[in-house]
Amino acid sequence: MRRSTFAIVVVGLGLLLVGAAVTRHLTGSWLPTADARTGPPPALTSGRGVKVTFTENPQPAPEIALTDLDGRPVNAADWKGKVVLVNFWATWCGPCVEEIPALEALQEHYRDQLVILGLSIDTKPAAEVKQFAARLKLNYPVAMSTEAIESALGGISAVPVTFLIDPEGRVVQRHVGLINPTVTEHEIRTLAKLPSEATVSYTKDTVRPLLTNAAYATEIPGLDLSKLTPAQRETALKQLNADHCTCGCGLTLAQCRINDPDCTVSLPLAQDVVKKIAR
């Protein structure tokens, strides 16, 4: 199958609430305009108490040479010297759409220091993704993802997934699940060498995905989704991330399967969901 069998994503309710609150702040009407701005852009959020972590062993970003949904060439070589944020998303992914306003606000405010690229993993035609993106009036380029790019980044097993690339063209961070807009802003400011009160640290495994609760996973352990049509697969993933397991774990079927692939309760329940949708 196209996606890795190792499905991961971090979407906590607390992070969702915090992200939503900060998103409202980031997308306020007071954002400075190009004519009003003089000097480096000020921080939109306070960095006090914010912890920013990067990998101590950054890897060169893979070559990105695509065509966006409007037919324009997308080439990472043109972004040298800027911070690049690559966001893998899908039109059917609720958290992906949830974080878009924050991404748009960051792109607008840091337009001289930042480039955001949205890569859609949708299986639907690019024309439909373009219509969806047009309705959202995205202010950054969007292209269809490719297996080559996903493989070069270690595989995209769930969305949203966001990679940060420093001005030297190295992958320094990977966020699986909803971004925290405040943390992301101060990651950008740190990489762009703008003032920030955030605490910066380095670790060996920030780019390595974390195994945790899942939502909007694109693969579920123990289930064969390869025989489903793209529409059926989408429906199955949504239901598996909505229906809860009855084993007492308190997780959705998708979460339970990922956190405990040996659970004998979640497996038949999840298989039944897929079987009914496949009819």
pLDDT at 258: 74
Separate counts of helices (H) and strands (E) for the chain: 8, 10
Flag whether 116 is in a domain: yes
pLDDT above 90: residue 131:
yes
Flag whether 186 is in a domain: yes
Distance CA 237, CA 68 (A): 27
Residues 54 and 89 in one domain: yes
Which residues, in sequence order, are CB contacts of 246 under 8 Å at separation 6+? 265, 269
In 3D space, the residue among 73, 75, 72, 76 whose CA is nearest the CA of residue 60 turns out to be 76
pLDDT above 60: residue 3:
no
- Percentage with pLDDT > 90 across the chain: 49
Strand pairing report for 51-55 and 199-203? parallel
Distance CA 225, CA 238 (A): 13
Which residues, in sequence order, are CB contacts of 261 under 8 Å at separation 6+? 221, 222
Residues 182 and 135 in one domain: yes
pLDDT above 50: residue 191:
yes
Residues 105 and 190 in one domain: yes
CATH number at residue 85: 3.40.30.10
pLDDT above 80: residue 170:
yes
Residues 159 and 87 in one domain: yes
User: pLDDT for 198-212, tens place per residue?
Assistant: 999 998 754 443 333
Q: Determine phi and psi for 182, rounding to 5 degrees.
A: -65, -45
Residues 114 and 237 in one domain: no
pLDDT at 230: 87
Domain of residue 266 covers 230-278
pLDDT at 214: 45
pLDDT at 2: 42
Distance CA 247, CA 29 (A): 47
Residues 104 and 189 in one domain: yes
Q: How confident is the model at residue 147 (pLDDT cuts 50, 70, 90)?
A: confident
Tally the domains of the chain.
2
Q: How confident is the model at residue 11 (pLDDT cuts 50, 70, 90)?
A: very low
Residues 175 and 248 in one domain: no
Answer whether 0.85 is exceeded by the pTM: no
In 3D space, the residue among 110, 105, 138, 103 whose CA is nearest the CA of residue 37 turns out to be 110
